[in-house]
Amino acid sequence: MFTVSTSPLIHPNIRNNVFMPRRIRLHTSPSIRLSIRSSSSSSRDTGFTCIDGKKEAKSIRDEIKIQVSRMAASKNIVPGLAVILVGDKEDSASYVRNKKKACESVGIKSVDVCLPEDSSEEDVLKYVLSFNKDPSIHGILVQLPLPSHLNEANILNKIIKEKDVDGFHPENMGLLVMRGREPYFVPCTPKGCIELLHRYNVEIKGKRAVVIGRSNIVGLPVAHLLLNEDATVTIIHSKTKNPEEITREADIIIAAAGQPNMVRGSWIKPGAVVIDVGINHIEDPNAPRGHRLVGDVCYEEACKVASAITPVPGGVGPMTIAMLLSNTLSSAKKFITSNDL
Amino acid sequence: MFTVSTSPLIHPNIRNNVFMPRRIRLHTSPSIRLSIRSSSSSSRDTGFTCIDGKKEAKSIRDEIKIQVSRMAASKNIVPGLAVILVGDKEDSASYVRNKKKACESVGIKSVDVCLPEDSSEEDVLKYVLSFNKDPSIHGILVQLPLPSHLNEANILNKIIKEKDVDGFHPENMGLLVMRGREPYFVPCTPKGCIELLHRYNVEIKGKRAVVIGRSNIVGLPVAHLLLNEDATVTIIHSKTKNPEEITREADIIIAAAGQPNMVRGSWIKPGAVVIDVGINHIEDPNAPRGHRLVGDVCYEEACKVASAITPVPGGVGPMTIAMLLSNTLSSAKKFITSNDL
C-alpha cells in the first residue's frame, strides 16, 4: 500500500492549490507605495517593484521537480501531460515546444500529438478519448485556437474533468465561479496572476480590483479568483465608456485585453499593483526581428506610478506554464489519492 | 408530424428567451430622470417610476397561458413541472404552494412531492431520477434550503441539465458566464431582474452596474447577465470597504444582499434605476401580523433619488415565479423540437 506524501506542492502556506503566504497590507494612498518583501532583486530606491515572473516561475518549477522526483521514488508514478496540436500555426507550435521543454525540465512525462490542419473532429476526439483512459496521462490539453472547421467546445468538453488541466470545461468554470464550490483545476494564466500577487504579498481582501477584458481564458476566471479572495471587482471591456477613469480607482489592475500599451500611466492610481497579461507583437525596426513583444500596459509610464508591475516578457507568461505543470502534478496526486481510497 | 409553432414565447422582440424590446437611452445625468414608456400607471409628475413587477409578471403569465394552450392544441403536450419539498419549513411550503398556483393559472401541470424532514439523500434522489426519465415532466426543482443533513450540491447535480429549470447546475452556471456560450436555463430571479429592465426599456449596454451580493442564486448570475449585455459591472459584498461610494457610481443597481434597508438614498446616483431583490421580514407592531416585508433598499429614500425602482413586495418576487413558468415552457418546447429532429 502506498503512503501519500503530505509535503506541500509549492510552499508550506498553501490552500486549495493556491499559494497563501502571510499577507501584508497594500498601501494605496498616493504617497505610499506597495511594501513588498525586501529580497526582491528588482526593488529600486523609489520603492517600485518589477514583479519577476520568470524568477517566481523558476522557483515553482524547482519545487515541482522535487515533488515529481519524490513521487517517482515513493509511488513509482510519473505525472504525464498530453498535448494535442492541430495544424501548423507557428505560434501554437512554439507554445507546445515550450510546454514540452518545461515538462522535461521538471521530470513530467510529455506526450505530444501533432495532427494535420485538415483533421476531422473524430480524428482529434480519438486521441482525447484515448488519453482520457490512459492511466499514465494525468493532464490533457488541446492547443488553442483550433482550425476554424473544428468545434472547439465539442472537443474541449470531451476531456474528462479530472484531466482538464487547462480548466476550460464549462462545469469547471461554474465551480470556479460559484460560492462554496471548488473547481477541478484553476485555469493556468489566471492562477499565475493570483500566484504572483500572493508571492509578492499583495493584500487582495477588501481591495478594489479592475479586470480589463472578459475572455473565458483570462478575464472572467481571474475576476472570480479575485472575488473569491474578497476583492471588490469591476470587469471592464470594449463597451466600457470610461475605462481610464474606472481603472484609476483600482488598487489591483489585471490587464488582459490584448491591446498593446492600452493602459497608460494616467490610468493607474499611484501605488496600484499591475499584472499585465497582454502578449502583443508590435513592429520595431530597431528590434533584431523587426518586431518586439509588449503588454497591454505601457510599462515605461506605468512604472512611474504603480508600486509594482509585471514586465512583458518575463511576467505572467512564464507563470502560465509553471501553473500548467502545477496542475498536472496536482492531478497525478489526486489520481494516487483516489486509487489509495 | 408536428409543426413547430414559431410564435414567440413572451413577446415579438425576443432573443434567447430574453425579452428584447427596442431600447431607449437611459438618462443618468443628475437632472434628467429615466425616460420610460408613458403607459406605466406608476409614473408620477416627478418622472419617478415604480417598476411594477406584479403587472409585468401577470402579462408574462397571460402570454405563457396562450402558448401553453396552443401547445396542447397543436401537439397534445402539456408542460410539466415537478417540485420536490423536503421537510415542513413554512416559508418553503408557502413558496411551493405559490408555484403550484402559478402553474395552474397558466395550464402547466404541476407535480409536488413532499418528503419528511428526515428523508435520506437516496429518498430524494429516487424522485429526482424518476422525474429525469418522465417524459411528461419538463422542469424539476428541489425547493431550497434542504435540511442540513442533505448535500445540496449532490442532489441538484443529479437533475438532468435539460430539466434544470432553476439553472443551478455548475455546468449551467459556467455556460451562463462564458462568452459565446448559452446556458440551458437562465436562473429565475436573475432572469426576472433583467426582464424588468428590458420591459422598462432601460438601456444596459455601456452603463455602469453595481450588483450588491454575490450569491450563486442571484448576485453572481445577474452580474454576468448584465456583463453579457455589455454593462460595466462591479460586484460588491460584505468585505467591500466603501459600498456606498461605489454604489453611487452606478446607473443600474441590483440589490441582492439580504440586508433590510441597506441601500439608503445617499447610496444612489440621481436618476439611477434600482432593482431590489431583497425579501426581508422586519418587526412592525403596526402591521397586522406584527411584521412586514422590506427589501434591501430603503424605498422611501430611494424613490426620491432614483428614476425607477422595484417595490417589495410586488417587484422582483412575482417575476421569479413567472420566469420559472417561462423556463418550464421553454423546456417543453425544446423537448418537442428535439423529438421532431
Question: Are the beta carbons of A206 and B174 separated by less than 8 Å?
Answer: no
Q: Kindly report, residue by residue over A221-259, the tens digit of the pLDDT.
A: 999 999 999 999 999 999 999 999 999 999 999 999 999
The pLDDT score that the predictor gives to residue A339 is 81
Q: Report pLDDT for B93.
A: 94
B81 — contact with chain A (CB < 8 Å)? no
Mutate to test the interface with A, among B230, B234, B242, B247 (most CBs of A within 10 A): B234
Q: What is the pLDDT of residues A286-295, one digit of tens each?
A: 999 899 999 9
A290 touches B at CB < 8 Å: no
pLDDT for A71 beyond 50: yes
Burial A116-143 (b: 16+ CB within 10 A, else e): eeebeeeebbebbeebbeeeebbbbbbb
The pLDDT confidence band at residue A340, using thresholds 50, 70 and 90, is confident
Cβ atoms B307, B319 nearer than 8 A: no
The predicted pLDDT at position B84 comes to: 98
Residues in chain A within 8 Å Cβ distance of B245: none
- Tell whether omega for the bond before A8 is within 30 degrees of 0, i.e. cis: no
Q: Same structural domain for residues B128 and B211?
A: no
Residues A201 and A282 in one domain: yes
Residue A17 lies in a domain: no
- The span from the CA of B251 to the CA of B204, in Å, is 9
Q: Is residue B180 part of a domain?
A: no
Q: Is the ipTM of this complex over 0.95?
A: no
Domain count, chain B: 2
Q: Which residue of A has its CA nearest to B227?
A: A235
B110 with B42, same domain: the answer is no
A147 with A242, same domain: the answer is no
B135 shares a domain with B28: no
Q: Does the distance separating the beta carbons of B169 and A220 come in below 8 Å?
A: no
Percentage of residues in chain A having pLDDT higher than 90:
84
Same domain, B207 and B135: no
A304 and A33 in contact (C-beta within 8 Å)? no
Q: Indicate whether B253 belongs to any domain.
A: yes
In a domain, A286, yes or no: yes
CATH number at residue A212: 3.40.50.720
Give the domain range for residue B152: 75-159+170-175
Domain termination residue (choose one: A99, A133, A165) = A165
* Domain-embedded: residue A203: yes
Asked whether residue A149 falls in the same domain as residue A265, the answer is no
Contact between chains at A175 and B177 (C-beta distance less than 8 A): no
CB contact under 8 A, B239 and A170: no
Q: Is residue B245 part of a domain?
A: yes
Measuring CA to CA, which residue among B268, B26, B205, B246 is closest to residue A240?
Answer: B205
User: Is residue A1 over pLDDT 80?
Assistant: no
Query: What string of pLDDT tens digits covers the 341 residues of chain B?
Result: 333 333 333 333 333 333 333 333 333 333 333 444 334 444 445 679 999 999 999 999 999 999 999 999 999 999 999 999 999 999 899 999 999 999 999 999 999 999 999 999 999 999 999 999 999 999 999 999 999 999 999 999 999 999 999 999 999 999 999 999 999 999 999 999 999 999 999 999 999 999 999 999 999 999 999 999 999 999 999 999 999 999 999 999 999 999 999 999 999 999 999 999 999 999 999 999 899 999 999 999 999 999 999 999 999 999 999 999 999 999 999 999 888 76
Indicate if B43 and B101 belong to the same structural domain.
no
Does A167 have pLDDT greater than 50? yes
Q: Both B40 and B79 in a single domain? A: no
* A33 vs B289: CA distance, rounded Å: 56
**Domain-located, residue B126:** yes
Q: Are residues A149 and A256 in the same domain?
A: no
CB A185 within 8 A of CB A155: no
Q: Which residues of B touch A153 (CB under 8 A)?
A: 181
Q: Is residue B240 part of a domain?
A: yes
More confident residue, A34 or B115: B115
Closest chain A residue to B174, measured at CA: A174
CA nearest to B171 within chain A:
A171
A220 and A121 in a common domain: no
Instruction: Please report the pLDDT score of residue A226 as a whole number.
Output: 98
Question: What grid cell was written down for B336?
Answer: 418537442
Is the minimum CB–CB distance between A230 and chain B shorter than 8 Å? yes
Residue A41: is its pLDDT beyond 60?
no
Query: What CATH number has the domain bearing residue A106?
Result: 3.40.50.10860
Same domain, B46 and B80: no
Q: Which amino acid is at A21?
A: P
Q: How far is A28 from chain B (nearest CA, A)?
A: 13
